[in-house]
Structure 1
């Protein structure tokens, strides 16, 4: 039995991980699902170390790496994150496994298998300094360069610079490219916000993330909002929400 502590602040992601753990066929027990550094700190102080920890990078109250700076935690770690593989080479250097969201059952199974094979070996010390350096790399290295798109039996890559906007509709997530093509993608808007360079992309509301290059026209709207006309056009009305409008105007100015 593998006793697992899960640090994850997104309830759907936590439920999905627990479901996938059962589907792997491994004997696992999730001891707790914690959504913050504070909750994790308290749990670890009051309980024996788990056999394994599944750890999201971003928790409700900050970066989970802070926890490992504060405490000596002997448990092996598998990170689950929306950061792409280029920003995570330091994780590999420390023999720490990671799963890119959305986590796939096959990858989780392989990570658990790796954990079991390494269980009898001495675990390397967690090099927090190196991990934090990876998280703070220049934007050119840290943000996603391309997306792998699957449609039917076909697979293709699309450069991030060719994306005009991303949006969600009927619980599905889409990318629209500058030439007007639409593709289903595996990431939700919260995950995409972590992957995209904030100098080039902005989340205008709960439904849309737009590229600066895709903005064709802007019109002042009611309640301090901004109506945007996109290129290529969107069938949905694209309005910057009242809450996002001040930040949007700063973003336009390059602040």
Structure 2
């Protein structure tokens, strides 16, 4: 059985590969792909695998983008730390999930479930419909406003007013017009899932930027990009070379 793994944490991918081959030595890992862009390119250029294991949150976006871009009949088992509404969506549509950290016993049950439903899933057109329905159900209702607790006030901030989000250590700040900034209780990873990816881009570990507030983009050394927003950030916003092309395409869309 040919399997591909879509996972940007190399250690996690290797551990998943080890467990799969330990459970069934007939499983062949066709590829381990670390980004949305790499997965799309591989699926477009290669015969479909029999089964896909996919993380949800990747370095250049959410894996849902892969399955909207590439129509595949291969069943997908998501590896996720997503909340319960996502899990219920999987269960109602007979698409399995694994909660991280993945345990071998849970992985074995997923493979057994796949074996039971294999013929039905691949032969039936309803599988693709079910996958699309799950993807739609898992689309978050993106935030339009954030409530900021600042001193003795609770301030509603329009998401559209956010220029960028900056994380430093355990502190996360949202920067809005007039050089104002507010601390928020969310992590930058949580905010990334709350905000519409058509409007906001995760530049690196420290920054999420709003498309409408990008003033200028400059070439930086080693094929990186330097992004200049309308208001001055606490430090330079640098897009690494791995994300540079995705960022430029995102700006053009």
User: Normalising by the residue count of structure 1, what TM-score does the alignment of the two structures yield?
Assistant: 0.54
8 Å CA contact 1:87–1:135 kept in 2: the answer is: no
Whether the aligned pair in 2 keeps the contact of 1:56 and 1:79 (CA below 8 Å) is: yes
Give CA deviations for 1:206-232 in whole Å, capped at 9, x if unaligned.
Answer: xxxxxxxxxxxxxxxxxxxxxxxxxxx
In the alignment, which residue of structure 1 is the partner of 2:62?
63
Structure with greater proportional helix content: 2
Cα distance change on mapping 1:24 and 1:241 into 2, 3 Å: same
* Distance verdict in 2 for CA 1:242–1:85, change over 3 Å: closer
Equivalent of residue 133 in structure 1, options 137, 143, 147: 137
Normalising to structure 2: TM-score of the pair? 0.54
Q: Distance in 1 between matches of 2:185 and 2:100?
A: 32
**How many Å separate the matches in 2 of 1:138 and 1:79?**
21
**Partner residue of 2:240?**
none
Match of 2:34 in 1: 35
Do the aligned partners of 1:78 and 1:96 also contact (CA within 8 Å) in 2?
yes
Q: How has the CA–CA distance of structure 1 residues 37 and 253 changed in structure 2, closer, same or farther, with 3 Å as cutoff?
A: closer
Displacement after TM superposition at 1:129 (Å): 4.5
Q: Deviations over 1:149-198 (max 9, x none)?
A: xxxxxxxxxxxxxxxxxxxxxxxxxxxxxxxxxxxxxxxxxxxxxxxxx9
Post-superposition offset of 1:137: 5.3
Distance 1:129 1:12 in 2: 31
Pair 1:250 & 2:249 matched: no
- 8 Å contact 2:78–2:96 — kept in the other structure? yes
Q: How far apart, in 2, do the equivalents of 1:73 and 1:37 lie?
A: 15
Relative to structure 1, is the Cα distance of residues 96 and 244 closer, same or farther in structure 2, using a 3 angstrom cutoff? Answer: same
Q: List gaps (5 residues or longer) in structure 2.
A: 149-166, 176-180, 192-253
Residue 5 of structure 1 pairs with residue 4 of structure 2: yes
Q: Flag the 1:242–1:115 CA change in 2: closer, same or farther, 3 A.
A: closer
Paired residues, number? 157
Residue 49 (structure 2) aligns with:
50
Q: Please report the RMSD computed on the Cα atoms of aligned residues, expressed in angstroms.
A: 3.1
